[in-house]
Structure 1
Amino acid sequence: MAETTHTYDNTPGETLKGMAIMIFAAAFIPLLDVFGKMLVTTHELSPGEVGMVRLFVQALVTLPIVFLVDGRDGLKTTRPGLNILRGLLLALGSISFFAALRFMPLADSTAVFLVEPLIVTLFSALFLKETIGWRRIAAVAVGFVGALIIIRPSYAVFGLASLLPLMAAVAVALYLILSRIVSRGTSSLAMMVHAGFVGGIALAAAMAVGHGQGIAELSFAWPHTATAWALLALAGVVGTAGHLLFILAYRLTPASILAPFGYVEIVSAIGFGYVFFGDLPDFAKWIGMAIIVGSGLFVFLRERQTKGASRVPPPH
């Protein structure tokens, strides 16, 4: 997300194209989590390992696109320090979410993670000094209640591990707040490259230490089968392709129009969770998901009313 505002001259056809791209990207991006869950459960890879490969693939796939679109100058940034911090936060978010998938159903983890837009709203007031009214503050609070409804049964079984999707959401929300600042002097594609390389290197360094200390989440357990290698590659490619599609969608259509379609992700996650793992949320979790989605949509509608349609890059 970025803070800059642009004037739109898009045709209705381009707006519809952006909406279609957003829906498609939100529907298939949970495949990244499907592959990640398979890798950390069935194939017993560590969450750090999956996150590291996923981020390196993002950087390596996006790098030639940057050179093709903008040349060597495309990687320039006016905020190198903040780009490094973004990469570290993305690494933390990645390992936290993939670790959560080891314990929790896909739909549950995804639903809790989707409080991230609400956290961004809160952080925008704290760190960017944006004004948010009491209605949006109330919506954020209600959204967290929905997350707690989903977390509660898992907390009884897994303890603090069930809070990992929430940790991932906080890390990614901070990452997006920094992205608003960094985007003023760095292209969206370059931001993906910087975050991918920094995050991948950070996880590799953490694993070098964690493996020696016997930390399961940061251990090296390289794939022993062709299937595991294929799943690793697919996770990286799906994650990168999804984010590139998000960028394209936001270039075609205002964020205030696209934002609600992001919740297609939870519908897709429920479907994939059932097809691949036989998981279906119980009644209480359905209620929690509805609360989170409803709170998020309320925040987006309030944002649209107060600021109008603005062109905002997606998460990179």
Structure 2
Amino acid sequence: MDRTATDPSAPLRDGTVAGILCMVGFAFTAPVMDAFAKATPAEVPVMQILGARFGVQVAVLVPLALALGMGRWPGPRDWLRHLLRGVLLLTATGCFFTALRFMPIANALSIFFVAPFILTILGGLMLKEEVGPRRIAACAVGFLGALLVIQPSFADLGAVALLPLGTALCFAFYMVLTRRMAQRTHPIALQAWTATAASAVVLPALWLLDGSGIAALDPVRPTGLALWTLAGVGVMATVSHLFISFALRLAPAATIAPLQYLEIVAAVALGYWVFGDFPDALTWAGIAVIVGAGLYVFARERRVSLRRRPLPPA
């Protein structure tokens, strides 16, 4: 019997250790993608950054899925689900990249971290998962922490400060749909086909809007710095999503989920090093409240999961 399945104090299996390392890799590479997006020159519209982000992911993950024998063509119903996931992820990323043009990475990311609380509530409403009063209270505390970060940003930026909340909401719905599909589709294939669906939306839109004269939508010919940042967004998106795909495959979600908060560390470091941004005291207070409430939710989830597992045979 695998003692780690019932005893959280037991030594971790090699696969679990590898999953933890992959999750740490995700936490430190995803903010690099955000930094590339933020560093992209302002004349490059956000939609074009999205085209690079998903286009490179398709170019890498679809051949990889095919090479690993995971290239089974999805049926019509699955394609509809991939398209819905793609639109949700496209909208979430678009909101976040737009926010990064005006906000420090750490501020936007800390607001986005209300996503686990939204997911907890949606799990109860849509997936009929058990959500007790303690987790609901933790979610409420997490939202209060987000307000500590949003309030000064909203005073300075207006509605732009709410864009990371849009990212969190779309991402939570995306994860609900992922939970339903991940049971029968390998994570790499799932990411590959979803990126394909997102590209099928954004790339034709870029082609149609070329020459439209709408500054926020009309793509430009990238040169100099823009070439490097667009490539960086696509490459780091692919690398970070491979990390998280393997992390979820190798280790229990309840074990690795708290490690996602390491993104805050990477985001603060990158924001300070590259852009000279450093969170103020109120933002740090909000981050502490969000992380504390999130860790409580993850701990409750782990405790409930352990109670539900069947006892080993005598």
- Aligned partner of 1:20 in structure 2 is 21
Q: 1:71 to 1:294 in 2, by over 3 A?
A: closer
- Aligned partner of 2:235 in structure 1 is 237
**How far apart are residue 239 of structure 1 and its match?**
0.9
Tell whether the 8 Å contact from 1:147 to 1:292 is kept in structure 2 after alignment: yes
Tell whether the 8 Å contact from 2:209 to 2:219 is kept in structure 1 after alignment: no
Residue 12 of structure 1 aligns with an amino acid whose one-letter code is: R
Q: 1:141 to 1:211 in 2, by over 3 A?
A: farther
Superposition CA RMSD, Å: 2.2
Q: 1:163 to 1:222 in 2, by over 3 A?
A: farther
Tell whether the 8 Å contact from 1:76 to 1:186 is kept in structure 2 after alignment: no
Matched, 1:129 2:137: no
Tell whether the 8 Å contact from 2:51 to 2:199 is kept in structure 1 after alignment: yes
Q: Distance in 2 between matches of 1:217 and 1:308?
A: 49
Deviations 1:48-73 (A, max 9, x none): 11112101111111011111112542
Q: Distance in 1 between matches of 2:302 and 2:157?
A: 39
> Percent identity over the alignment?
38
- Aligned partner of 1:37 in structure 2 is 38
Point out the more displaced range, 173-182 or 190-199. 190-199
Q: 1:109 to 1:274 in 2, by over 3 A?
A: same
Residue 128 of structure 2 aligns with an amino acid whose one-letter code is: K
Tell whether the 8 Å contact from 2:71 to 2:189 is kept in structure 1 after alignment: no
Point out the more displaced range, 234-243 or 250-259. 250-259
- Aligned partner of 2:98 in structure 1 is 99
Q: Distance in 2 between matches of 1:205 and 1:96?
A: 19
TM-score (norm 2): 0.89
Q: Distance in 2 between matches of 1:139 and 1:89?
A: 26
**Partner of residue 247 from structure 2, selected from 239, 246, 249:** 249
Tell whether the 8 Å contact from 2:62 to 2:193 is kept in structure 1 after alignment: no
Q: 1:211 to 1:139 in 2, by over 3 A?
A: farther
Secondary structure of residue in 1 paired with 2:101: helix
- Aligned partner of 1:218 in structure 2 is 217
Q: 1:295 to 1:212 in 2, by over 3 A?
A: farther
Secondary structure of residue in 1 paired with 2:194: helix
TM-score (norm 1): 0.88
Q: Distance in 2 between matches of 1:213 and 1:288?
A: 41
Q: Distance in 2 between matches of 1:83 and 1:96?
A: 20
Matched, 1:276 2:274: yes
**How far apart are residue 216 of structure 1 and its match?**
4.1
Deviations 1:138-162 (A, max 9, x none): 1111111111111111111221111
The higher radius of gyration belongs to 2
